[in-house]
Structure 1
């Protein structure tokens, strides 16, 4: 059975606990489809994570599972902490890219690289302006590693322009509409390659 592992922050973790290891967010909606196709789905999202946290738990949570496919969703907290906790040690775009490449290079799997979504439901919010560079970097890494590229930031910005929201409960964490948009975008990219 092909094993696909989702890793990321609270957007990936959403609703995950011992009795519900898949959660109730986008991973749940994607897994409904993938399980029909015979995939074994694992959710390793942890709230609050930045890419530095993924580095710290990569061996235990990813490499030890020996997944065939790894879907990575990270970057929101790397940017959000720059806004809401500027006193903390920050993950700038160069550190983000360096650590991301390190994770990819040590993993023998196919990758699905998901852009960070949105910070605030205004296209010109400070968070969304900063996120552009992180989203672009994810796209470049996807090309470099011949990975699936889930262009979520672009999709969410266009959906906001089209008035299809709201997508979040607080500007970051997804409501059902947002989770479904992530899942639909993920599945569209997955099936188009």
Structure 2
């Protein structure tokens, strides 16, 4: 158990984190953040954790940088959970390739953001891998995603962060089931896919 009584856990990221938290499913969203919160609170009510969701749909690491002061540093987290990179990659495979973020910029920007928030708040970090719900590692978008996930794993080691291997979690279920069972676009999970993510977060935090 690494969470402590009364700590503030802030999640920041893109649509996978957002999940309607700004409107129909305020304030936690209806995805993995809500599931992690519910399960931790149910199993450890004595902790009285404060949960905050600051995901914004469509974000890349560039967008995260633009709102970092307000949505990460100003929240004064004890733990900051970051899941970003899926759009940075995916845009290359859509009709918006100019908005894709190359891997060098991604790593440089994310490292800078993490340094800033740790220096300003002293928080601990939880870094989740970007993922693509596709079992074929030869698929171009899957191959790119694996490269970006390696960046996140490296940053987790660099910052002594909790590392959440989201792609590995999906690979486990994809070994025995089709991608369509988890998401229609291989990016935005159905609720069972969010449960796969929540399970990965709980395991990484030692809460299973």
With structure 2 as the length reference, what TM-score do the two structures score? 0.86
Which stretch shifts more, 127-136 or 32-41?
32-41
Query: Structure 1 residues 86, 14: closer, same or farther in 2, change over 3 A?
Result: closer
CA distance in 1, matches of 2:97, 2:177: 35
Q: Partner residue of 1:93?
A: 103
- Select 1:29's aligned residue among 35, 48, 71: 35
Q: Partner residue of 1:137?
A: 151
Q: What is the correspondence of 1:14-53 to structure 2 with a 5 Å cutoff?
A: 14-18=19-23, 20-35=26-41, 36=45, 37-53=47-63
Q: Partner residue of 2:16?
A: 11
CA distance in 2, matches of 1:90, 1:15: 24
> Is 1:80 aligned to residue 80 of structure 2?
no
The answer to whether the 8 A contact 2:12-2:82 is kept is yes
Instruction: After TM superposition, give the deviation of residue 164 of structure 1 in Å.
Output: 6.5
- Select 1:105's aligned residue among 107, 115, 139: 115
Q: Deviations over 1:63-93 (max 9, x none)?
A: 1111110000011000000111354143111
With structure 1 as the length reference, what TM-score do the two structures score? 0.93
Instruction: After TM superposition, give the deviation of residue 157 of structure 1 in Å.
Output: 2.2
Instruction: After TM superposition, give the deviation of residue 176 of structure 1 in Å.
Output: 1.0
Runs of 4+ in 1 over 6 A off after TM superposition: none
CA distance in 1, matches of 2:132, 2:68: 25
CA distance in 2, matches of 1:112, 1:174: 20
